[in-house]
Amino acid sequence: MDQNDITPLSTANLLGIEFIEIVAPSLESVTPLMTELGFSLYAKHRRKNVFLFQQNQLKIIINCSQDPTLEAYVGEMGIALFAIAFKCDDASIAHAELIKRGAWDSSNHSGPMEVNIPGIEGMGGTLIYLVDQVRDDLSVYEIDFKTIPSVAEKLNGSLSHFHEFTIQVDPDRTQTCLTFFERLFGFQAKEEASLQLPGKHAISLRFVEASDEQHNTEFFSKITFKANENSPLRHQIFAGNDRAFAIEVI
Amino acid sequence: MLSIAANLFHSTLEDKFAALAQAGFLNIDLTHSDFGADKRDIEHIAELAKRNGIEISSASSLREFGGNTNHIHEYDMDLARNYLKTLAQLNCRLLVVMPPTIRSKNIDTNQILADLRALANLAIPYRIKIALKALPWSPYIGSYQAAASLCRDVNSPNFGLVIDTFHFLSESEAIDVLEEIPTSDIFLVQCSDFNSSMTYSLEDQIETYHHKRLIPGDGYYESSIVTLIEHLHQQGYRGHYSILANNAIYKTQQTDELISRINSFQEACQAFL
């Protein structure tokens, strides 16, 4: 057995970021921010208080559902980045391999007629979903979400892709957290304290260490977007007291 | 810093925690016998710890772990997950794991490594470290050299070793064995005295390990234990030294009497704590 065992998930190629999930107390609490960033409300979940915002190929799910775990998370963190979803060639195989390597199963326990998305736990109670890529024009969204009419043509915006996710961890935990992602997923180190995520845009996952005990947990502290060259949003940072994460556009 | 294994005392949990906190000992270690089957037991321990300002420093709970290639493997991993969830609930950040002790055709050494790596990965989201403890009678991880080698192979920042003075002294290990172990790999040192002479049967060794450990100073080896502590301190170890004593003679002794003897030992090695 290879001593370092940094092996990519070979049979279930991770292809990139499919979507990210933000938890919030209400749609109204995030709509101004989403609008300012150029996202449009594209679809609503058929049964729950869950919404899909989109801009170009960027998808953000806003989850305001009355789930006790999520409500507790929002209660502690405010509006927070709760999950990232990787697009996969075969999500169930990827999931099985991750569990074998020592990941916690946190598969989305759906109701009848809903899509069951395999998932694992990340840092601090956040999740990592594995989503099969779109095939034959059928996407995972079409089962659970209903498109809002007249939005389809308004999905252009000046943000082109995710650039980086930053996780704030406890002091002296950077190497340990890097090891977690290296061992489970086979991600390669990019620079000190960051890893390369799969996909064509060289998205990275960065770790910063907490200097205080503002939150007694580890969490996503920043989302960095890459914008088109002429975007008015470039070089801006959007902080917010009601949010656990800052937003940066480069 | 000294921590104390709770099973030394034979009072109620409330009394133990209160007495230790009052005496200034705010770090307590749990063993598998402290974990009841009911989740309310865990909630009770968590509540007592919070009330008394006590930190649960370590839990020596995961025994006979790893290596099974048959259906026992899933049982092992399930038990590991349950212990990690329990430690997370107690805010305990160190789980001690012990190797299989019975030679079996269903135990594979490569699988032991894979299982320890998986255990280390499982512990990471819960901010828990894993410390491997060699057992002299384990055919798989019976020496510090074997444990240290496995630690290098697991190669995870949250995976390290437990040094047990009882193991060292009962096996007559040379102190320079410690120099072969990177200090950063030592997560916990357990300190136990005992009364047996050095040369005795395996049966006696196991019996002493499980039932006759003493507070340092109550047996023959206090000065050797202090020497070990001094050596580790010089190597740069700054973690906890856990007083692990389970001898039945302590059942009839008062808590404050036991605390007084722990205080004496603390004074003997204060320069290195």
Is A219's pLDDT higher than 70?
A: yes
Average pLDDT score over residue span B68-79 = 92
Residue B7, domain CATH: 3.20.20.150
By DSSP bridging, strand A219-227 and strand A159-169 are antiparallel
Backbone angles phi, psi at A95, to 5 degrees: -60, -45
Asked whether A80 and A243 are in contact (CB, 8 A), the reply is: yes
Per the CB < 8 A criterion, the answer to whether B207 and B176 are in contact is no
Q: Is the pLDDT at B224 greater than 60, yes or no?
A: yes
Interface test with A, best of B127, B129, B130, B159 (most A CBs within 10 A): B127
pLDDT tops 50 at residue B242:
yes
Residue contact B117–A103, C-beta within 8 A: no
Contacting residues of A for B158, CB less than 8 Å apart: 176, 179
- State ipTM: 0.91
Mean pLDDT of B225-242: 95
Asked whether residue B75 carries a pLDDT value surpassing 80, the answer given is yes
Give the model's pLDDT for residue B205: 86
Q: Which of B117, B122, B152 sits opposite A5 (nearest CB)?
A: B117
Q: Do A102 and B122 touch (CB under 8 A)?
A: yes
Query: Is beta strand B94-97 parallel, antiparallel or unpaired with respect to A204-209?
Result: unpaired
Instruction: Please give the pLDDT value at position A46.
Output: 87
| Amino acid at position B254, single letter | Q
Chains A–B, number of C-beta pairs less than 8 Å apart: 49
Q: Which residues are CB-contacts of B177 (< 8 A; sequence separation ≥ 6)?
A: B144, B145, B168
* Domain containing residue B114: 2-272
**Given this model, what pLDDT does residue A136 score?**
64
* The pLDDT of residue A11: 42
What pLDDT is stored for residue B41 in this prediction?
86
Mean predicted confidence (pLDDT) in A11-21: 83
- What is the spatial distance between Cα B151 and Cα B132, in angstroms, rounded to a whole number? 8
> Residue A105: pLDDT above 90?
yes
Predicted confidence band of residue B208 (pLDDT cuts 50, 70, 90): confident
Handedness of CA B236, B242, B244, B249 (dihedral sign): positive
Q: Is A100 close to B110, i.e. CB distance below 8 A?
A: no
Report residue B268 CA to chain centroid gap: 22
Residues of A with CB below 8 A from B153's CB?
Answer: 3
* A170/A11 Cα distance (integer angstroms): 33
Selecting from B113, B119, B125 the residue whose C-beta is nearest the C-beta of A122 gives B125
Instruction: Report the alpha-carbon distance of residue A206 to residue A224 in Å, rounded.
Output: 11
Q: How far is B239 from chain A (nearest CA, A)?
A: 15
Give per-residue pLDDT as tens, B2-32: 999 999 998 888 999 999 999 999 999 998 8
Instruction: Give the whole-angstrom CA distance, residue A45 versus residue A50.
Output: 5
Helix B72-89 / helix B109-123 crossing angle, nearest 10 deg = 30
Q: How far is B159 from chain A (nearest CA, A)?
A: 10
Whether the Cβ atoms of residue A210 and residue A171 lie closer than 8 Å to each other: yes
Kindly indicate the confidence band of residue A113, based on its pLDDT and cuts at 50, 70 and 90: low
Lookup: tokens for A87: 């697009």
Instruction: Say how far apart CA A116 and CA A188 lie, in whole Å.
Output: 29
- Does the pLDDT of residue A1 top 60, yes or no? no
Q: Which of B97, B116, B121, B149 to mutate to test the interface with A (most CBs of A within 10 A)?
A: B121
CA distance A203 to chain B (A): 22
Q: May I ask the CATH class of domain A10-152?
A: alpha beta
Chain B residue closest in CA terms to A219: B125
Residues of B in contact with A170 (CB under 8 A): 127
Range name among B36-45, B105-114, B161-170, B176-185 with the lowest pLDDT average: B36-45
Nearest CB to B110; choose among A1, A4, A122: A1
Set of chain B residues whose Cβ sits within 8 Å of the Cβ of A121: 125
Contact A101 B118 (CB under 8 A): yes
Q: What distance in Å separates the CA atoms of residue B244 and residue B194, rounded to the nearest whole number?
A: 11
- Label residue A216 by pLDDT band (50, 70, 90): confident
Which residues from chain B sit within 8 angstroms of residue A219, using beta carbons?
A: none
Query: Which CATH class name applies to A159-249?
Result: mainly beta
Closest approach of A172 to chain B, Cα-based (Å): 10
Q: Is the pLDDT of residue A2 over 70?
A: no
- pLDDT over 70 at B244, yes or no: yes
**Measured between beta carbons, which residues in chain A are less than 8 angstroms from residue B125?**
104, 121-125, 180
pLDDT value for A137:
63
The pLDDT, as a whole number, for residue B226 is: 95
For residue A9, name the pLDDT band (cuts at 50, 70, 90): low
The pLDDT of residue A128: 96
The domain locations on chain A are 10-152, 159-249
pTM of model > 0.90: yes
3-state secondary structure of A177: helix
Asked if pLDDT for residue A5 goes beyond 70, the answer is no
Chain B residues touching residue A100 (CB < 8 angstroms): 118
Residue A134, CB half-sphere, CA atoms under 13 Å: how many?
A: 11
For residue B57, name the pLDDT band (cuts at 50, 70, 90).
very high
B237 vs B21, B178, B215, B233, B234, CA distance in Å? 25, 11, 21, 5, 7
Strand-pairing partners, residue B157, are none
Q: Which residue has the higher pLDDT, B43 or A10?
A: B43
d(CA A248, CA A73): 23
Q: Is A236 helix (H, G, I), strand (E, B) or coil?
A: strand
C-alpha torsion angle, residues B194, B177, B269, B49 (rounded to 10): -80
Residue B148 has pLDDT above 50, yes or no: yes
Average pLDDT score over residue span A93-115: 82
Residue B184, pLDDT above cutoff 90: yes
Measured CA distances, A32 to A238, B21, B83 (Å)? 12, 51, 44
Given pLDDT bands bounded at 50, 70 and 90, which one contains residue B173?
A: confident
